[in-house]
């Protein structure tokens, strides 16, 4: 294994540890868990059974297990997407500025680690920490649903966590760290991320209440609307393809931002 890969592996491991020992990620994951439970308790009432469950069952002919699957996904997706898609990037935007403010980056840059490796290690460390949290939540809530609702199809539920919420974690989490890395301090990093996550999408004409128009911006917007739509609308034709395109475009977007960052850091390293 090359030294760079070894350094990256070490960074991922220790970043994961540190994120879980800090308060922010624990609070966010706990909040997500509580929100999922509260949402499901509030929704799964007798009224809901009578007014939503039964009519949908009659209309679609779905089995109990299929209906339960839809309910688990529906109940988890909204809070999961809101937390991991919007709160997460703001929460982790200060990852690199924090190092700068505490003086750790001075030490870090005296090691034979290139700035590109440093930023990549930080991004991957955040991914590892949050994806690990997602996995734990997926298992806990998955078991809870089983007791609470009865049997459901685990595969679509797992796929929602891995592909849907996983994609939001990777795309928006990565975006948060990369955007924050350009800023000298924590406050500016958070403000910039808020600007890009909330103000820019609205300014450019797409917010969570509008429908996607299949323009490039719909796929690039940090709202990741097509992914969101795929998990909130049943049997919408073309929704899966749009969600996949969004994920691919999002990864391309991250790579592009990463390359710009890398060039900028390399220039900074030489000047």
Partner 1 sequence: MIKIEHLTKVYKGNITALHDVSLEIGTGMFGLVGPNGAGKTTLMRIIAGLLHWTAGRVEVNGYDIHTLKGKQAAKALLGYLPQELGLYPHLTGAEFLDYVAILKGVTHRQQRQHQVQAVLEKVHLTEVAERRLKTYSGGMKRRIGIAQALIGNPQLIIVDEPTAGLDPEERVRLRNLFSELAENATVILSTHIIEDISQSCHDLAIMYNGAVLFRGAPTELIQKTRGQVWNIVTDGQRPNHGLNVVSMLQLAQGTQYRVIGDAAAFPNAIPTEPSLEDGYIHLMSQTRDRGVV
Q: Output the smallest distance, CB 259 to partner 1, in A.
A: 17
**Closest alpha carbon to 162 in 60, 234, 245, 231:** 231
Are residues 212 and 218 in contact, defined by beta-carbon separation less than 8 angstroms? Answer: yes
105 near partner 1 (CB under 8 A): yes
Q: Output the smallest distance, CB 31 to partner 1, in A.
A: 20
Distance of CA 137 to the CA centre of its chain: 14
Nearer to partner 1, 105 or 232 (CB): 105
Which pair of tokens denotes residue 202? 């609205």
Q: Considering only residues 198-217, where is the footprint of partner 1 by CB under 8 A?
A: none
267 near partner 1 (CB under 8 A): no
Nearer to partner 1, 97 or 164 (CB): 97
Nearby residues of 220 by Cβ (< 8 Å), 6 or more positions away: 249, 250, 253
Q: Output the smallest distance, CB 63 to partner 1, in A.
A: 48
Nearby residues of 37 by Cβ (< 8 Å), 6 or more positions away: 141, 144
Reading phi first (left if > 0) and then psi (alpha if -120 to 50, else beta), residue 45 is in: beta
Q: Considering only residues 106-125, where is the footprint of partner 1 by CB under 8 A?
A: 106-114
Please choose, out of 36-44, 87-95, 179-187, 262-270, the segment that lies near partner 1 by the rule CB under 8 A.
262-270
Which pair of tokens denotes residue 79? 């809070």
Are residues 146 and 40 in contact, defined by beta-carbon separation less than 8 angstroms? Answer: no
Please choose, out of 12-20, 213-221, 246-254, 255-263, the segment that lies near partner 1 by the rule CB under 8 A.
12-20
Q: CA–CA distance from 129 to each of 136, 164, 170 (Å)?
A: 11, 17, 11
Q: CA–CA distance from 105 to each of 108, 114, 261 (Å)?
A: 5, 12, 17
The CB density around residue 214, as the number of other CB atoms within 10 Å, is 12
Q: Output the smallest distance, CB 1 to partner 1, in A.
A: 7
Question: From the list 54, 64, 207, 269, which residue makes contact with partner 1 (rule: CB under 8 A)?
Answer: 269
Please choose, out of 33-41, 83-91, 96-104, 206-214, the segment that lies near partner 1 by the rule CB under 8 A.
96-104
Question: From the list 46, 59, 61, 103, which residue makes contact with partner 1 (rule: CB under 8 A)?
Answer: 103
Q: Considering only residues 14-73, where is the footprint of partner 1 by CB under 8 A?
A: 14, 17-18, 21-22
Please choose, out of 10-18, 54-62, 201-209, 250-258, the segment that lies near partner 1 by the rule CB under 8 A.
10-18
Question: How far is Cα 221 from Cα 147, in angstroms, rounded to an integer?
Answer: 38
Nearer to partner 1, 28 or 175 (CB): 28
Which pair of tokens denotes residue 240? 């899966």
Please report, as ranges, the residues that interact with partner 1 according to CB under 8 A. 1, 3, 6-7, 9-11, 14, 17-18, 21-22, 99, 102-114, 266, 269-271
């Amino acid at each position: 294994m090359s030294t760079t890969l070894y350094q990256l592996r070490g960074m991922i491991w220790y970043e994961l540890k540190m994120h879980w020992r800090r308060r922010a990620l624990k609070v966010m994951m706990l909040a997500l868990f509580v929100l999922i439970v509260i949402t499901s308790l509030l929704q799964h009432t007798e009224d809901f059974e009578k007014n939503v469950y039964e009519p949908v069952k009659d209309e679609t002919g779905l089995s109990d297990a299929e209906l339960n699957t839809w309910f688990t996904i529906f109940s988890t997706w909204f809070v999961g997407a809101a937390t991991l898609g919007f709160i997460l990037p703001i929460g982790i935007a200060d990852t690199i500025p924090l190092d700068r403010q505490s003086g750790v980056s001075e030490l870090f840059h005296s090691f034979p680690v290139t700035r590109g490796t440093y930023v990549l290690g930080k991004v991957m460390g955040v991914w590892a920490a949050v994806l690990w949290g997602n996995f734990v939540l997926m298992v806990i809530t998955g078991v809870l649903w089983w007791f609470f609702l009865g049997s459901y199809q685990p595969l679509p539920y797992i796929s929602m966590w891995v592909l849907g919420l996983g994609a939001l974690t990777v795309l928006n989490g990565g975006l948060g760290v990369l955007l924050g890395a350009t800023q000298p301090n924590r406050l500016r990093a958070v403000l910039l991320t808020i600007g890009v996550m909330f103000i820019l999408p609205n300014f450019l004409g797409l917010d969570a209440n509008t429908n996607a128009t299949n323009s490039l911006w719909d796929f690039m917007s940090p709202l990741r609307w097509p992914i969101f739509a795929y998990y909130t609308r049943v049997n919408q034709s073309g929704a899966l393809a749009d969600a996949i395109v969004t994920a691919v475009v999002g990864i391309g977007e991250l790579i592009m931002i990463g390359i710009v960052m890398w060039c900028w850091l390399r220039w900074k390293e030489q000047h």
